[in-house]
Amino acid sequence: MSIIKSVMFDEWRYWRRTKVATTVILIGIALALASVIVNSIEVRQASAERTELQRISEQTFFDQPDRHPHRMVHYGHYVFRTPSPLSIIEPGVDAFTGTAMFLEGHQQNTAMFSEQRQSSGLTRFSSLSPAFMLQVLVPLMLILVGYSCVTREREAGTLHVMITQGVKVRDILAGKFFSLAGSGMLMLAPLAIASLWAGAHGESLAITASFVLGYVVYILVWSAIVLWGSTISSRSNASFAILIALWVVLCILVPRIASTTAATLEPSPGKLESDFSVVEELRALGDGHNASDPAYEKLKQDLLNQYGVDDVADLPMNFRGVVLTYSEKKLTDVLNKYAEARMDEELSQAEIARQFGWLSPMVSMRTFSMMIAGTNLENHHRFLREAEELRFDFVQALNHAHEHDLDYHTDINRYVNDDTAKAARVDASHWQVLSSFDFAPESAQFRLSHSLRYVLQLLLWAALMLALIKRASRGVM
Amino acid sequence: MSEPVVVAESLNVRFADQCVLDDVSFTVNRGEVFALLGGNGAGKSTTLKTFLGTVAPTSGSASVLGHSVTSDSDFIRSKVAYLPESVMLYGHLTGMENIEYFLSLADVKRSASDIEAALKRVALQADAWHKKLADYSKGMRQKTAIALALLRSAPVLFLDEPTSGLDPSAIDEFNQLVTALSEAGSTVFMVTHDVYGACQVAHRIGLLDQGKIVGVFERSGSELIDTEQVHTAFAKRNA
């Protein structure tokens, strides 16, 4: 163990004296720190802003005066997704998907205000997330720091001297590995501190610990890749070329190929195509605003028969409210069918892309990181579903008020004059039907159990690198 | 009483269809300086590599301190101080730091005063101790490596072309050091093509030609080996 420590300390001393490696490590730490600080501030601000906006939006809805209930259906309501505590490190899909949604009757609006949609090209480049930094740039920095860790000794002949003095190749490589891993851990330190901060702000200990541990394994895998590249190469320039090529393949090409393959294997219809299909199907359902629409003839007949009356005016409830409730249900079923199909397609694409984690540790780390942070696609889908559930509930609650608390005659005469319009209002206490929206990530247990496959991918990469280094060590002599 | 330390018995090394060492046998006893003399391609370096365990013998046996090179190379390396032709130490470290580092790799603990004493013993100027090795001459590097060997208390020294590239005064200093080490009980096995240098320090010289030992010369009493005699034999083989 003391020999491994000596080799490790000497490597650090070499980096310190040659300055290049030290500079790279310091740049890495500074970038990681800067990205963590900037993201923490942004996410904290966004979190406080969205919580406040959610409160204001709910209050504004509640504060509406007496109105016709259907006006409130169209008045609508906003829901905001507060970021998960770990999104200060891993923004995941949140940067691309919207964070706010306008909920109203007869519509399923898409989420809006995504960071990427609002940013110009240059801003996109400058929005460096700590996760991107650790998943993509830290491996590159490890390469810059360590590509010559073994080849340098080989070229200088010191490797031969060490071995012929009885130092085991295994110990030399272990010392080099720990020196590289140590530099990676320094660059990881800001993330670990930020995770502690996330822990202090509501994230579970199991999640923060797993999150940091995942990145530790990832750094170890890349340290092993760099060590392996340097061990199998006879010269430093060859090692550098091999490792840069590997970085390009594992961190740039494979993720790109993954998304292209996913889009090819699971093609999704364009938005226009989907929208046309939805509109066509909705048209067949009839217009809920028009109670005389032939689409509701059967509903009308059934009700007339049920209550033994000849005219909808004689029904014990407001027929217009009944139609609105009925049509909203039918319309929501159709919208949900298309929404679920779209989410299934997106999830299938994501699943295909995630399989590329077997081919690239960066892909497995990215998936694991998003899963654990609660910023993955499934989480976004859950936000859409919960928002839709809220929309449907409050719209139907307003329709229920329309149906039972507003007289049919008053309702149909509301455009006659100001007095009839005033009479066709319901009490503002009805607006209390709106439930509070408080979106939170899945439970720790759920997130951990769903990320096991990606842990396995990372561990497989670790095992593969261990085997490759063991094999390469035989050729050192 | 002589105690065999470095032993080769009917040692054969073949690379593909080329015979590099052909039935080589010799013994180096404790405290003895043995020089394996030969021209380029004679098989000197292969012999050294075989004892260091980096080349496996095709047949025959080789041992150091009674341990076989094929089964106990780790033990042998821990007991041997090996000085390659060009001493490879770390250019970014000072002489002192190099020694401290390699001692830590050998898991040997020595105080700063021990290291200074060793550096004085190999006659490395004190003002060079804290200079980076990148600024050392070849002789100074060699002294550093020998100081390291002294501090490791390695009972066996393997030297590969030790005087190659040294100036005459450095060669003299080196020869004195090797003699002193031998007198202190260290066993020295060197391979060289320097006839004069070998005759100055060696108790015995084995002349290697095309992988075979074709002659052995040894001191007679306290007299050095006759340089002329060895030179003639060497020249005849390398004409």
Q: Is A161 within 8 Å of B88 when comparing Cβ atoms?
A: yes
Q: Residue-wise over B175-214: b if at least 16 C-beta within 10 A, else e?
A: bebbeebbeeebbbbbbbbbbebbbbbbbbbbbbbebbbe
User: Which H helix or E strand runs over A322?
Assistant: helix A319-355
What residues make up the domain containing A145?
2-474
Which structure tokens are listed for B50?
């075989």
| Cα–Cα separations (whole angstroms), residue B15 to B21, B48, B62, B69 | 10, 16, 17, 18
B67-68 and B59-64: which strand pairing?
antiparallel
Measured CA to CA, the distance from residue B63 to residue B61 in angstroms comes to 7
Average pLDDT over residues A391-404: 89
Give the separation between CA A342 and CA A14, rounded to whole angstroms: 55
Task: Report the pLDDT value the prediction gives residue A118, as an integer from 0 to 100.
Answer: 52
Number of domains in chain A: 1
Consecutive H or E run containing A474 = helix A452-474
With beta carbons under 8 A apart, name residues in chain B contacting A14: 90, 92
Q: Which of A17, A163, A167 sits opposite B92 (nearest CB)?
A: A17
Segments making up each domain of chain B, as ranges: 4-84+154-237
Helix, strand or coil for residue B174? Answer: helix
Region A316-334 average pLDDT: 90
Residue A289 has pLDDT above 70, yes or no: yes
User: pLDDT: is A221 or A32 the higher one?
Assistant: A221
Q: Give per-residue pLDDT as tens, A41-70.
A: 888 888 888 888 888 888 888 888 888 888
Contact between A13 and B93 using a beta-carbon 8 Å cutoff: yes
pLDDT exceeds 50 at position A89: yes
Gyration radius (Cα) of chain B, Å: 18
CA nearest neighbour of A457 among A366, A338, A383: A366
Q: Do A165 and B74 touch (CB under 8 A)?
A: no
A13 contacts B78? CB cut-off 8 A: no
- b vs e for A69-92, b when ≥16 Cβ sit within 10 Å of the residue's Cβ? bbebbeebbbbbbbbbbbbbbbbb
What are the phi and psi torsion angles at A151 (to 5°)? -60, -35
For residue A109, what pLDDT is reported? 77
Name the maximum alpha-carbon separation found in chain A.
107
Share of chain A above pLDDT 90, in %: 45
H helix intervals, chain B: 44-52, 73-79, 95-105, 112-121, 138-152, 168-183, 195-201, 227-237
- The answer to whether A1 faces chain B, any CB pair under 8 Å, is no
Q: Give the integer Cα–Cα distance in Å for B166 and B146.
A: 15
d(CA B41, CA B191): 12
**Residue labelled with tokens 């609006």:** A109
**Is the model more confident about A180 or about A268?**
A180
Which range in A106-110, A161-165, A383-387, B63-67 is most confidently predicted, on average pLDDT?
Answer: B63-67
Task: Sheet with B156-160: list strands edge to edge.
Answer: B80-83, B156-160, B187-192, B33-38, B204-209, B212-218
pLDDT value of residue A112: 67
Structure confidence at residue B64 (pLDDT): 95
Of the partner residues B54, B77, B92, the one whose CB lies closest to the CB of residue A165 = B77
| A432 C-beta neighbours (distance < 10 Å), count | 10
Q: Rounded distance, CA B175 to CA B163, Å?
A: 9
Residue-level pLDDT at A115: 57
**A163 chain-B contacts, CB cut-off 8 A:** 54, 77
Dihedral sign for Cα atoms in the order B171, B177, B179, B181: negative
| Report for A230-239, A302-311, B83-92: range of highest mean pLDDT | A230-239
Residue A443 has pLDDT above 60, yes or no: yes
The reported pLDDT for the residue numbered A123 is 47
H or E segment and range at residue B22: strand B18-29
Q: Among all chains, which residue has been given the structure tokens 């730490």?
A: A29
> Any idea what DSSP says for residue B136?
-
Going by pLDDT thresholds of 50, 70 and 90, the confidence category of residue A105 is confident
Contact A95, A85 (CB under 8 A): no
- DSSP secondary structure string for all residues of A197-247: HHHHTT--HHHHHHHHHHHHHHHHHHHHHHHHHHHH-SSHHHHHHHHHHHH
B222 vs A149, more confident: A149
A474 close to B (CB below 8 A): no
DSSP string, A113-180: --HHHHS-HHHHHH---HHHIIIIIHHHHHHHHHTTTTHHHHHHTHHHHHHHTT--HHHHHHHHHHHH
CA-nearest of A429, A412, A431, A430 to A421 is A412
Chain B residues lying within 8 Å of A166, measured CB to CB: 74-75, 77-80, 106
> Token digits for A282?
């909705």
* pLDDT for A121 beyond 80: no
Q: Report CB contact under 8 Å: A161, B89.
A: yes
Residue of B72, B89, B90 to mutate, interface with A, max A Cβ within 10 Å:
B90
CA distance A158 to chain B (A): 5
| Chain-chain contact of B89 with A7 (C-beta, under 8 angstroms) | no
* pLDDT at residue B51, as a whole number: 93
- Residue A117 pLDDT greater than 60, yes or no: no
Residue A84 exposure: Cα atoms within 13 Å on the Cβ side: 31
Q: Do A157 and B84 touch (CB under 8 A)?
A: yes
pLDDT-derived band of residue A176, with 50, 70 and 90 as boundaries? very high
Q: How far apart are CA A261 and CA A350, in angstroms?
A: 10
Identify the CATH class of B4-84+154-237.
alpha beta
Q: What angle do CA A424, A426, A432 make, to 5 degrees?
A: 155
Residue showing tokens 């200093």: B173
Closest-CA residue to A382 (of A432, A355, A356, A346)? A346
Interface contacts (A, B; CB < 8 Å)? 64
pLDDT grade, residue A108 (50/70/90)?
confident
Name the pLDDT band for A477 (thresholds 50, 70, 90): low
Q: How confident is the model at residue A130 (pLDDT cuts 50, 70, 90)?
A: very high
A157 to B107: CB separation less than 8 angstroms, yes or no: no
Q: What is the pLDDT of residue B121?
A: 83
CA distance B102 to chain A (A): 8
The SS3 assignment for A365 reads: helix
Residue A163: band (very low, low, confident or very high) from pLDDT cuts 50, 70, 90: confident
Please give the mean pLDDT across all residues of chain A.
88
Point out the residues of chain B with pLDDT beneath 50.
1
Question: How confident is the model at residue A122, as a pLDDT?
Answer: 43
Rounded to a whole number of angstroms, the distance from the CA of A143 to the nearest CA of chain B is 21
Q: Provide the 3-class DSSP secondary structure of residue A311.
A: coil
CA distance, residue B53 to nearest chain A CA (Å): 8
What pLDDT is recorded for position A120? 47
d(CA B33, CA B174): 13
Name the percent of chain A lying above pLDDT 70.
96
Task: For residues A120-129, give the mean pLDDT.
Answer: 55
Number of residues assigned to chain A: 477
| A149-180 burial: b if 16+ Cβ within 10 Å, else e | bbbbbbeeebbbbbbbbbbebebbbbbbbbbb
Amino acid at A337: K
For residues A274 and A286, give the distance between their C-alpha atoms in angstroms, rounded to a whole number: 19
| B149 → chain A, closest CA residue | A165
Which of B82, B91, B107 is the closest to A164 by Cβ?
Answer: B82
Most A-contacting residue of B64, B70, B97, B105 (CB-CB within 10 A), to test interface: B105
Output helix, strand, coil percentages for chain A, rounded to the nearest 5. 75, 5, 20
Buried b (16+ CB within 10 A) or exposed e, A188-205: bebbbebbebbbeeebbe
Confidence at residue A125, expressed as pLDDT on a 0 to 100 scale: 42
